[in-house]
A and B are shown apart, each in its own frame.
Chain A
Amino acid sequence: MRQEEDSLLVRQCLDGNQKAFEELVDRYQKPVFNLAFRFTTDTEDAEDITQTVFVKAFEKLSTFDPKYKFFSWLYKIAVNESINFLNRKRDFDRFDETLHSKQREEETAGDPEMTLAINNALLELKPDYRILVILNHFQDLSYREIAYILDLRENTVKSRLFSARRVLRRVLMKKGIANA
């Protein structure tokens, strides 16, 4: 149902109805922002990435294949942008300093200490593990959807995800969280 609605919005947008794109922004800015935020743990960076993702989506809308889910296609752009962003950050040699010094202060819902610890633990994962944990645990995507987004085989997704979990458990255990 959602998929059909999204495809309709895309068609309307391609027909020149830009209100339809606004609707797509309304629907997906939060998950895209969250994906970027979990990846960078920096609000401003997440905003920048989200902005770029939607601009690219807008520009490439005609290449969207409606046999796939729109959000999977959008996440694909979001993942690529997040990874490119980190690479650019690394180029400037500011990545670690920024990621480890900035934490979102507004994010106080739930247990803030736990959230902070999990954010820091995620940062200790290498990016290709981190993105798998984010897509699986925070975005609730299936192996198949993740495989499409990351251009991997499902079996590769599974084996990397399971390895990522093992590393994450170890990191969290070191931090005294999740007596895993």
Chain B
Amino acid sequence: MFTTLYFKIKRFDGENEWYQDYELPYEKGKTILWVLTTIRETLDPTLVFTSACRHAICGSCAVRINDNAFLVCKTSLDEVLETFKTNRLTFEPLNNFEVIKDLAVAWEPKMEKMEQVKPWIIPAEDGSKEAGFIQSEEDYHQIAATTDCILCGVCASECNQLAVNDGTYLDPFILNRAYRFAVDSRDGSPEEHIRPVYENELWKCLHCMQCVTKCPKGIPLTDQIAFLRQESIKMGEVRNQGAKHAFAFHDDVKNKGRLNEVMLPIKTDGLINTAIRKTPFALRMIKKGKINPFHLPKEIEGIKGVREIYKFAQEVGK
């Protein structure tokens, strides 16, 4: 094992940013939070980072280590050294957040953004303050995993859409909140939580799986995004590129079994938009033989069985 650990920490004083080097002797069985605390207590009292509970409950100590976000109080130093096979670690503040100082990031703008999805229960009509809102065990389990969210920001830091978005797209933890109240049996207006999600570029999620992979609480964020999309479709929001694209796959599998790549852009964007926007793309694909405009996929063997499976899924969905 290593005897000395080398750390590079990204510093920011409100004006300038720089990387500062620190060294600590290796100690077995420590957390990453121990590293930060030890640096601040023994080497540099000016280093700023946030932490409080040390038990993965307050959500305040997330930072990036070698380009990956971690909740550092529950992250083993030994595991990180083993993962990256090195004794040199670079600490940076979370991505996709405004940095206040060093590793501390601003949450106020995120909280303001979160208000859009009305992250509170809009009471169902059949409940009242007097009678209470009794929830069955089954209904509770609908929201149990979602309420594990501690707003640590790891999902938002790793979100590849947020990294290139203009700020409209909602952070995964905000999508989780919208989902949490939309499926709560005590809530009477799921659409009020889902509509703002839909209107804030819900279909721009890149399906990269970073949020669900890195969430320290294992919340099934990508399943929630799929659910929110399904619900937006049920609300009638089908005339958008994302829904039309998903239906193109859905319908092609039912019709022939396989995707018709020639028709995909037209089904997603419409004939006119495709002609305007995708003509150079189509021409270069045809030139290289990558698209054959006359190729029509044949029905696969067993397509009747596939259609039976579709029919059954429809019955299950009802």
**A, B bound:** no
Chain B residues with a Cβ under 8 A of chain A: none
